[in-house]
Amino acid sequence: MTDLGILKEHNLVQSDAASVVDNSTNAYVFTTFADVLAGSLIASTLFPPFSAFQNLSPNSDGTHWALVKVFSTQSSLDSRYPSGSYVLLVHDISHSIQDVPFSLGPDGFPGPPHVNNYHQAQQIAAGADFSLLWSGFAGATNTDFAQLQIFDGGGGEVFASPDFAAAGALPGTVTNLVIPAGTLVENQTYQGLLTFFRFTTSNPNLYAGALSVAGFSSSTAFSLATFAAPVTPPPAVLGNPLLAAARGFQFAFSSVPNATYTVEESANLSAWRSLGAVTATEASTVFTDASPPTPGPRFYRVRSGN
């Protein structure tokens, strides 16, 4: 057994820099869970106050047993699962049956998580560290917890801070976390989930080898996006000069496809004038200066960028 408990969850969505709103599909959720070693649990049953018992169901490998109920409003959640005393019956493979008591207090949802640098999170340089910033919730203490998770387009988890039951979990007073360089891939959109936890029960002694918790969580889902870091092409090498009477002076320069170059000319190698920008399509680019000739020398250079 690693951890078990009950949670009332408030799920929200942030889609711009300002507002955080209820998730329209699962605004409020009641969850009872038992995370265990594979095959170590035979059955688990919840006994809520004032209602009939309810059985937990295992996942495919038997490591996570859960009972999940979704509600559109907090009042409907509280009506079905009020504050009070809950009991989780745990029946393990040693045939030991134990009642684990939980106390779930009145409304204790942490304030909704809000990402402060939302706009910056939509343009992350994948090759550099990125610090996600958020607002802490009122009254947060070091006994509360925060967790950041990031999922790719297929729902796979690519980054997560430690879970509340794990060593190194973020205390609720933390308001930022660095996503290390290289965690995210260029030109991708990700789904972030920032969760605050506050417990009314947190006890490692109610069930041997497990942290038993009961309380509340608030989670905000939001997007993150990365861009490809600009590539600085090597210096252009000029060559193949040609004076064509009908077209003007032309030359070629080495280039990188899709890179942009600016061609400049000067009469004295001091004052330079732009002749325009060129986006290369091949490894060698031809440029023609069709401007009228002027007395004296004319020098050319090519630099990357606009």
Q: Which residues lie closer than 8 Å to 246 by C-beta, 6 or more apart?
A: none
Pairwise pLDDT comparison (95 vs 86), residue with the higher score: 86
CA distance 102 to 86: 5
pLDDT of 181 strictly over 80: yes
pLDDT in tens, 113-162: 999 999 999 999 988 899 999 998 989 988 899 999 999 999 999 999 99
Q: Which residues lie closer than 8 Å to 52 by C-beta, 6 or more apart?
A: none
Mean pLDDT of 14-31: 96
According to the CATH classification, is domain 3-227 in 2.60.40.10? Answer: yes
CA distance 76 to 226: 39
pLDDT given for residue 231 in this prediction: 66
pTM of the predicted model as reported, rounded to 2 decimal places: 0.74
CA distance 213 to 33: 10
pLDDT in tens, 219-251: 999 999 998 766 678 899 999 998 876 678 899
pLDDT given for residue 48 in this prediction: 95
Diameter over CA atoms, the chain? 101
pLDDT of 1 strictly over 60: no
CA distance 101 to 1: 16
